[in-house]
C-alpha cells in the first residue's frame, strides 16, 4: 500500500531544473495527482504563458499565478510543479509554508542552460543574451530558493528516476508528511512516459 501524503509537495526552482519531469514521476510513485501551476494558468486564461507575458505583462501573470497556487494548495494533497518565479513571492511562500512542503531542485548554470537553450517557450529568456539573463536570474533567485523546506541537487547524468528517488529519500525524513512509512525510492514507475517540460520562468 502506498504511503498517503498529508500535504502537497511543491516543486520549486529554476526553469530547466526538472520540476515537471521529476514532479510527475514523484506523483506516480506516491499515487497522488500531478499538477502544474503554469498549465492551470494557461487553462484558465486560454492562452500560453508566453502570450500572457506578452499581452498582459509579468505583474498580471504573477497575480494570476498566486491565485492559482492558492487554489491548488486548498485541494487534496498532490505534487505541484511551479514556475521558476513563483517561490520569489512572499505571498506564495506563505501559502506553501501553511499548506504544503517545498522542494528545491537545485541545478547549476551549465546544466540549466544546456536544458533550456533551445526552448522557445521561455518568455524571460527572450533577450539579446539569454544565457546571461539566465545567470542573472539564478544569482538573484538562488538565495530565495534556499528557503525551501527540502533541497535536492539536480546533477547532469542523473535520470528522472534517480532524481525522484533522491526526493523521496528526503521527504521520508520530514516528520508527519505521510500517514505511514513512505515507499522506497524504487517505487518510481519504470517505463512511465516522461512528463513534458514546464514553460514558466
Task: Write the pLDDT tens digit of every residue in 181-194.
Answer: 555 555 444 444 44
Mean pLDDT across the chain: 86
Which tops the pLDDT comparison, 15 or 165?
165
Are 49 and 199 within 8 A, CB to CB? yes
191, part of any domain: no
pLDDT (mean) for 172-180: 88
23, part of any domain: yes
The model's pTM: 0.84
146, part of any domain: yes
pLDDT for 1 beyond 50: no
138, part of any domain: yes
197, part of any domain: no
51, part of any domain: yes
What pLDDT does 192 receive?
45
CATH code for position 12: 3.40.50.300
**Structural domains counted in the chain:** 1
What number of H helices and E strands is found in the chain? Answer: 8, 5
200, part of any domain: no
Minimum mean pLDDT among 2-6, 147-151, 168-172, 195-199: which range?
A: 195-199
Measured distance CA(49)–CA(41) in Å, rounded:
8
Helices 37-45 & 49-56, crossing angle to 10 degrees?
A: 60
Q: For the segment 9-42, what is each residue's pLDDT rounded down to a tens digit?
A: 999 999 889 999 999 999 999 999 999 999 999 9
pLDDT for 73 beyond 50: yes
- What range does the domain containing 20 cover? 8-184
Amino acid at each position: 500500500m502506498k504511503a498517503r501524503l498529508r500535504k502537497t509537495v511543491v516543486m520549486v526552482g529554476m526553469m530547466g531544473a526538472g520540476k515537471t519531469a521529476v514532479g510527475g514521476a514523484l506523483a506516480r510513485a506516491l499515487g497522488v495527482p500531478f499538477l502544474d501551476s503554469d498549465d492551470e494558468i494557461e487553462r484558465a486564461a486560454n492562452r500560453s504563458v508566453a502570450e500572457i507575458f506578452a499581452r498582459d505583462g509579468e505583474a498580471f501573470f504573477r497575480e494570476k499565478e498566486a491565485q492559482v497556487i492558492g487554489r491548488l494548495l486548498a485541494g487534496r494533497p498532490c505534487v505541484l510543479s511551479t514556475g521558476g518565479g513563483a517561490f520569489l513571492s512572499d505571498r506564495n511562500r506563505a501559502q506553501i509554508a501553511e499548506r504544503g512542503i517545498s522542494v528545491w531542485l537545485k541545478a547549476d548554470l551549465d546544466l540549466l542552460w544546456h536544458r533550456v537553450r533551445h526552448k522557445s517557450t521561455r518568455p524571460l529568456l527572450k533577450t539579446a543574451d539569454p544565457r546571461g539573463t539566465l545567470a542573472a536570474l539564478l544569482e538573484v533567485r538562488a538565495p530565495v530558493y534556499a528557503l525551501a523546506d527540502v533541497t535536492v541537487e539536480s546533477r547532469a547524468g542523473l535520470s528522472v528516476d534517480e532524481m525522484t528517488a533522491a526526493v523521496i529519500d528526503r521527504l521520508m525524513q520530514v516528520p508527519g508528511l505521510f500517514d505511514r512509512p513512505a515507499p522506497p525510492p524504487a517505487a518510481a514507475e519504470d517505463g512511465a512516459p516522461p512528463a513534458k517540460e514546464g514553460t514558466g520562468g
